[in-house]
A = this chain, B = another copy of it.
Amino acid sequence: MKLLFIVLDGLGDRPIPEYGGMTPLEYADTPNMDKFASLGMNGLLHVIAPGVTPGSDTAHLALFGADPFEFYTGRGPFEAAGLGLDVKEGDVAFRTNFATIDENCIIKDRRAGRIKNGTRELAELFDGMKVDDIQILLKAGTEHRAALILRGPGLSDQVSENDPHVEGNKPYEFKPLDESESAKKTASVLNKFAKRASSILSEATINKDREKNGLLPANYFLIRGAGKVPKLPNFEEEYCLETACVAGGGLYKGIARMLGMHIIEDERLTGGITTDLAAKFDVALDSLQNYDFIFVHVKGTDNFGHDGDVQGKTEFIKKVDKELARFLPDNYKEDLVVMITGDHSSPCSFKDHSADPVPILICSPDCRRDEVEKFGESYAVKGNLGHVLGKHIMGIALNEMRLVQKFGA
């Protein structure tokens, strides 16, 4: 028995007056999702808890059964993992910007002129660097963005940032945020690193060339978002499942990697509203041959919600639905558990995340079907999953896979 877990980011919405009070999901023609709903169990999902508005990071932790109140230490570790850094328990991870300072150490641009090229080479200058007994791991992301990891004994994430968040100021010194020796040590390492990094960056050919060409040199690191890397549950170890992540966004891949999933790399896997949905679900279908549990992340629904684009969200949902036909029992002949939901609601009227619950459906060959016939916020109310919490859905899905882990004897 295999599991296909599809997360439509920001799926949930609110009644749209022009749709006669239906939501985009309810208004969209979605015969395939409706088929899964009618064959399966339906409910309303509170990803973290009723009334709590999830972020994308905390939401995905909760969906995978990793209580964000326990495991969420900041976004740094997940962004670092998303860039492909091999984060380890105990590492302290940061988000960082390549920035520009002048000869008096005044910040001229917090994003080094939104530098497009060369950051990968600049980051490689730090390969193998150590500050005291602490190893430095650095990886460039898109534009001016990068992730920094400190690895070694006696580190803490209780340190302030050096980013004043305005230009024309000097960067701050890093300071310990508590009395611990580990916080003092981490602040000291960061201060030494920022200084040495600035020298190294200033001497780099790429930056000399940028200056010659009238571009701002990327000669400083502004560092923020300290988070100690938590030990997340490991799917493969805990459930003896071969798991795969089919996603575009770095955050989602990062969380999946930290949970021990295999990340399917394919350049067609992107995260925007123009993503190739057919390719994404083709990859998911292929992956079902080699993996037991496929996590598919689709970002576009959330983007339309943030833009308040009702029609765009509706059309995008229809496009997703079309691609799901390949997983219907008539077309996919192996035993399969299908779970479809969102990581949170992003109502078009909010243009942001909300705490509204998201519809969820779980369909397996011999599940206890309920009477719900369509997938949607108001239909799900009558489903037999009732109101369900994010932290419980993996257990419910694993039960449908008959992967029973008895508590007690």
Contact = CB atoms under 8 A, between A and B. Distances in A.
Interface string A348-371: 011011111000000000111110
Interface stretch (A85-93, A145-153, A167-175, A399-407): A399-407
A214 interface: no
A409 interface: yes
Nearest to A349: B366
Interface string A48-76: 11111111111100000000100010010
A377 interface: yes
Given A53-B399, A75-B408, 19 more contacts: A14-B368, A49-B392, A51-B393, A51-B394, A51-B399, A52-B407, A53-B405, A55-B407, A56-B409, A72-B407, A352-B406, A353-B404, A353-B406, A354-B402, A355-B399, A368-B377, A378-B384, A386-B387, A387-B387
B44 A409 contact: no
Given A14-B368, A350-B404, A408-B58, A51 B395 contact: yes
28 contacts: A14-B368, A23-B368, A49-B392, A49-B395, A51-B395, A51-B396, A51-B397, A51-B398, A52-B407, A53-B404, A53-B406, A54-B406, A54-B407, A68-B408, A72-B407, A352-B404, A353-B404, A354-B399, A354-B402, A354-B404, A355-B395, A355-B399, A368-B377, A370-B378, A370-B381, A381-B384, A386-B386, A386-B387
A57 B408 contact: yes
A263 interface: no
Residues of A in contact with B, size category: 35 or more
A118 interface: no
A238 B121 CA distance: 45
A407 B68 contact: yes
Nearest to A388: B50
A14 B364 CA distance: 12
A407 B52 CA distance: 7
B75 A396 contact: no
Per DSSP, chain A at the interface is: loop
Interface string A378-392: 100100101111001
Max count, chain B CB within 10 A of own CB: residue among A59, A367, A395: A395
A349 B366 CA distance: 9
Contact of A392 (B51, B58, B349, B402): B51
A165 B396 CA distance: 33
Nearest to A353: B406
A1 to B, nearest CB: 12
Contacts of A164: none
A51 B197 CA distance: 49
Contacts of A370: 378, 381
Contact of A386 (B21, B44, B349, B392): B44
Contacts of A408: 54-59, 68, 72, 75
